[in-house]
Chain A
Amino acid sequence: MSRQSNRTTDSKKMNSELFTLTYGALVTQLCKDYENDEEVNKQLDKMRLIEDFLARSIGRCQDFRETADVIAKVIGKFQANQNVSGVTPSVTNWSPAGDEFSLILENNPLVDFVELPDNHNTLIYSNLLCGVLRGALEMVQMAVDVRFVQDTLRGDNVTEIRMKFIKRIEENLPAGDE
């Protein structure tokens, strides 16, 4: 993966670059450890990052629509820290039943300086994001399917994440030794 960028050095940028570069090193290492992209995607999906924070923000949302807005706001804040022109992702393409929507990100901070080489066409570079979103929603008792529909790394204009509400997870009593 080659690097290309013409940003000016700025202390806020520096910190985001540390995160972006570290994420890049992680993906590179995973590609080395695992034979195929599917495995790498699975590993990225398993990782847990800010679920706690995200779950607390989503917390007492009354319905899925409210949840969508909160998620967009949190990601927007994260992006505002990363980019000069931070833009809150937009929530669009609601399904008629109101259980599915798209999150459109104009910039994906994870992919600064990244180019996907040809032999990794099925690699979902930002799969960590899907795992984090799904994990956070699980923490607030919601089972949601999270998928990348468009990805700027694969040549699309924007990054689009599709989120579909599956069901409410029943509260499990702490007893039991599974």
Chain B
Amino acid sequence: MTDEALFEFLHMEIVSHVYKEQQASKGEMDNKDRAACVSVLEGMGFRVGQGLIERLTRDSPSFKDELDIMKFICKDYWTKVFRRVAAILFISPPQGTYVLQDNKFSLLTQLSGGKQYLDQAPKYLAFSCGMVRGALSNLGLDSVVTAEVSVMPSCKFQVVIQKL
């Protein structure tokens, strides 16, 4: 019994709970309800991400710049949380846009190995998007994080840093 498996189980249970609750009170789920579920999951991920990054960077020196932070997220943060390294596919510093790709995203590997259940994937990505957004927020960067999947278990996270 490993810690990673425990987290994955807990994550699945949380997603299923949030959707069941919404369904129970509304009957039929429309897009607004689905958006509400996603935003609840994202919010939870946000808090967890904030806490985690605090613990992770407590003893490290401060980061040089945005790119340095994003590299840290792809390597160290991703390794701690998802046990892999994510690749930065695309960088556009002037617009503060980064696209991170994980070819074998750990929270999707149990779901399917291709296109099956593609429509279910967003539910399982909301929490992780929140975690990235929370981590960046505690490092001083406001961002919008979205994820897209075309073939599981590979997925792309798009991070847009909000400039003040």
A residues adjacent to B (C-beta < 8 A): 3, 7, 9, 11-12, 14-19, 21-26, 28-29, 33, 43, 47-50, 53, 74, 77-78, 81-82
Contact = CB atoms under 8 A, between A and B. Distances in A.
A9 B56 contact: yes
A24 to B, nearest CB: 8
A15 B10 contact: no
A29 B10 CA distance: 14
B14 to A, nearest CB: 6
Interface residues of B, number: 28
Contacts of A43: 17
Contacts, number: 79
B14 A22 contact: yes
B51 interface: yes
A18 B20 CA distance: 24
A123 to B, nearest CB: 17
B80 A14 contact: yes
Contacts of B11: 22
Contacts of B59: 9
Q: Which of A7, A25, A78, A82 is the most central at the interface, judged by chain B CB atoms within 10 Å of its CB?
A: A25
Nearest to A75: B1
A78 B13 CA distance: 19
B2 A29 contact: no
Contacts of B3: 12, 15-16, 18-19, 81-82
B40 interface: yes
Centre residue among B3, B14, B17, B48 by max chain A CB count within 10 A? B3
B85 to A, nearest CB: 14
Contacts of B7: 15, 18-19, 22
Contacts of A3: 51
